[in-house]
Chain A
Amino acid sequence: MSDASDTLVKFESVQKSYDGETLVVKDFNLDVARGEFVTMLGPSGSGKTTCLMMLAGFEPATHGEIYLDGVPINNVPPHKRGIGMVFQNYALFPHMTVAENLAFPLQVRNMGKSEISEKVNGALDMVRLGGFGDRRPAQLSGGQQQRVAVARALVFRPQLVLMDEPLGALDKNLREEMQYEIKHIHEDLQVTMVYVTHDQSEALTMSNRIAVFDDGIVQQLAPPDELYEKPLNAFVAGFIGENNRLFGEVKAIDGDFCQVELEGGGGMVKALSVNVDGVGSRTTLSLRPERATIGAAQGESTNSLEAKVEELIYLGDHIRSRVSLSGNDEFIVKVPNSHGHVHLKEGEITQIGWEAEDCRALDA
């Protein structure tokens, strides 16, 4: 967020309730810069789709204001907002051909025939579906339908495009292919995109920034790398990527670091104090599996704990080792399958070590 004039979308303390008793969205604030790709990521029922629907105009905000290009749009009906949208099941009109689907937004804007056909062909070429204009949506594969839906949302050159879990119905390979395709379209057209998904790899692949939703609140809004490496709370740490959790009590805080006594008799460890309430409070320690070293010699890293190897899963590039450490038998360490790596046996007792900077003390 550099400059206020660069802000295209602004949510200002938006709340949403369907039944007047519970809030689905509690105090949502978000600024989306022009040209940015922002993803709203969260488990189902976290309020992310509701926020998108409020932005599109299909759901009224119960409280708060949404601005598009500086203009409050709470009372602007959806068809006057000029926002392109890609729906979960594409919502291609089944009684129209692909070309008619693409022409629809242009026709309702009263464009001339030649201009329409020019733009439709351009949009089809953009998604590499030139020559498919006469087909019906039902005659296309899932990936092709998806591309038509993207083209239709872009053909009238909206300044903002919303996508509501658009890749949910595709199989894994196609989904990855489409992620790159959407990312490239975003880069080529410099269009602002707000994307909703529950799939973190999708979010990490495409976004400039990700808003992690849970329980109607944005838990953290940050670029993908920051989200993964510097989660601000236990939910984000657990939701993004794989994460080892250890519970304990804060014994001392020393600048950026704190001393935590682990539950389960693991002893004292040193961790980065990110989100703790103070000395004596409970905390969740978060440690990425790839940041722990196995078989580390005593004193080699800041923290070193004894662990028992429970299970070894050979995954080619790395060996996924489940160990039990300080009463947590779901502790995962990734051992890279590199030259001369440690060879473990199940049932073996070994040392697990990690640096204090990699271990984040978060809320309980």
Chain B
Amino acid sequence: MTDQTAAGGVVLAADGTPLKASLNRALRRNRIRAVMLVAPLLLFILFSFLIPIFDMTFRSVDNWHVGTLMPKTSAALAGWDGKDIPEEPVFVALVADLQAGAKSRQIGKVGTRLNYEKSGLRGMITSSARKSKRLKEGPYKAKVLKMHKKWRDLETWAVIKRNTAPYTIGYYLNAVDMKYGQTGEIVMQPENRRIYGKLFIRTFAISLAITVICVILAYPISFLLATLPLRYSNLLMIFVLLPFWTSLLVRTTAWIAMLQSQGVLNDLFVFFGLVDDENRLQLIHNLTGTIIAMTHILLPFMVLPLYSVMKTIPPTYMRAALSLGANPVVAFVRVYMPQTLSGIGAGSVLVFILSIGYYITPALVGGTDGTLISNQIAYHMQSSLNWGLAGALGAILLASVLALYLLYNRIVGIDNMRLG
């Protein structure tokens, strides 16, 4: 040892270089190889997953429109105290911005942005921009105030000034059914316009219901799969996995055929006299339909982790419990079930997270009371084009999933989760 240790206590390799450096050199090749193997997937995830997520999250706070497209007005409003309609210099700047915006055809974006905060402002901006082309000389204040009655509203100016800031929490307020009040304070939306809070609660409740139903349905099946002889369990596994091999759309439409009021299930109910022909059950295009179809689709995600955990539990544990005098029920509850908790946890987290963000099935079979928050996000992405709000809703969803994950880690420990 002594001759391999330098004066400073550093262990040296045979050639006199520090052992650590030597080891690093020896390991470098392996490390490079590992990075190369991971690189393609990493790049794919980066471009198809991480960058879009950051982009959408950024859009949920981004507020460039007013500041960029109405730079002069923004600057002029900086010193405005908000107590009264601004003075002439602000209007000079406003007219210049409106004229420039009308010319570049960009002013509509400002209108759209302001309209999210207070409806009617899009019309005000676009019509004023059109009319501003005819304004040749000042003073502008009186002329602009005459263009649209909203210019005479103090709240309009408050909204414009608030949105000269480059970032906003307006979308998030909107996503949790709040808004800025007339004097810039944060207030709840009026009762009839609160939709997202209810939708979030409904999404969580439906996801929870689906998770619970999945546990109840998957547990006995997984137990059977884990205990049957291999040739039977293989066959059963094929039945469990069959949904995976069928298109999601086909499965969902099959449920429509099954569950609709003239569908197979209702026909059977009527045939056996369980319900009257006039009072056929409404099983689809509502909450029931969403829960039935999503449970069916997500069931394998519960079965697989449960199965893989149960497969590792030797039957001798149950035998040992029986030989020690526990009746079969006690043995099952006290000895078998606790050992499957990691599987229940893994399956539940998986199913819950998947169902919280589920989109296509609720869209097809959900009707009005069976749609989830993801359908609302899709609506804002595709129809209303309010990407900021879509981003805010998505970010809240993401944050709540992460919070759940952390909570799970705190209670159960993520290391105890076994997916297979």
Interface residues of A (CB under 8 A from B): 56-58, 77-85, 87-89, 91-95, 104-105, 108-109, 152-153, 156, 162
Contact = CB atoms under 8 A, between A and B. Distances in A.
Given A93-B335, A95-B338, A105 B325 contact: yes
Contacts of A84: 323-324
B319 A58 contact: yes
B106 interface: no
B82 interface: no
Given A79-B322, A83-B323, A105-B324, A93 B317 contact: yes
B393 to A, nearest CB: 41
Nearest to B328: A79
B314 A89 contact: yes
Given A81-B323, A104-B321, 13 more contacts: A77-B322, A79-B322, A85-B320, A87-B319, A92-B320, A93-B317, A93-B320, A95-B338, A105-B324, A105-B326, A108-B326, A109-B325, A152-B324
Interface in B330-356: 330-331, 334-335, 338-339
B316 A88 contact: yes
A91 B325 contact: no
Interface of B: 314, 316-317, 319-328, 330-331, 334-335, 338-339
Contacts of B339: 93-95
Contacts of B326: 79, 104-105, 108
26 contacts: A56-B323, A77-B322, A78-B319, A78-B322, A79-B323, A79-B327, A79-B328, A81-B323, A83-B323, A84-B323, A85-B320, A87-B319, A89-B316, A91-B314, A91-B316, A91-B317, A91-B320, A92-B320, A93-B320, A95-B338, A104-B321, A104-B326, A105-B324, A105-B326, A108-B325, A156-B325
Complex A-B, nearest 7 residue pairs according to Cβ-Cβ distance, in ascending order: A105-B324, A91-B320, A85-B323, A91-B316, A108-B326, A78-B322, A95-B338
A348 to B, nearest CB: 55
A94 B339 CA distance: 8
Interface residues of A, dominant DSSP: loop
A87 B321 CA distance: 11
A148 B53 CA distance: 54
Q: Which of B320, B322, B324, B326 gathers most chain A CB within 10 Å? A: B324
A18 B339 CA distance: 30
Contacts of A87: 316, 319-320
Contacts of B322: 57-58, 77-79
Nearest to B342: A95
Contacts of B321: 93, 104
A88 B319 CA distance: 12
A82 B325 contact: yes
Contacts of A78: 319, 322-323
Contacts of A109: 325
Given A93-B335, A94-B339, A95-B338, A108 B324 contact: yes
Nearest to B318: A91
A165 to B, nearest CB: 12
A162 B316 CA distance: 14
A58 B330 CA distance: 17
A257 to B, nearest CB: 50
Q: Which of B320, B321, B327 gathers most chain A CB within 10 Å? A: B320
Nearest to A109: B325
B135 to A, nearest CB: 80
Q: Which of B314, B322, B325, B335 gathers most chain A CB within 10 Å? A: B325
A80 B331 CA distance: 13
Contacts of A108: 324-327, 330
B317 A79 contact: no
B249 to A, nearest CB: 43
B105 to A, nearest CB: 68
Contacts of A77: 322, 328
A149 to B, nearest CB: 8
A80 B330 CA distance: 13
B316 to A, nearest CB: 4
A89 B323 CA distance: 15
B138 to A, nearest CB: 82
B324 A104 contact: yes
Contacts of A162: 323
Contacts of B334: 104
A156 B323 CA distance: 11
A140 B338 CA distance: 20
A57 B327 CA distance: 13
B212 to A, nearest CB: 23
A326 B66 CA distance: 111
Q: Which of A58, A77, A85, A108 gathers most chain B CB within 10 Å? A: A108
A119 to B, nearest CB: 13
A274 B335 CA distance: 53
Contacts of A156: 324-325
Nearest to B319: A58
A87 B326 CA distance: 16
A82 B326 CA distance: 10
Nearest to A88: B316
A79 B331 contact: yes
B120 to A, nearest CB: 64
A272 B321 CA distance: 51
Contact of B325 (A56, A58, A79, A95): A79
B340 to A, nearest CB: 10
A52 B257 CA distance: 56
A149 B197 CA distance: 55
Contacts of B314: 89, 91
Nearest to A93: B335
A57 B320 CA distance: 12
Contacts of B330: 108
A96 to B, nearest CB: 8
Q: Which of B322, B323, B328 gathers most chain A CB within 10 Å? A: B323
Contacts of B324: 79, 84, 104-105, 108, 152-153, 156
A156 B326 CA distance: 12
Contacts of A104: 321, 324, 326, 334-335
A161 to B, nearest CB: 10
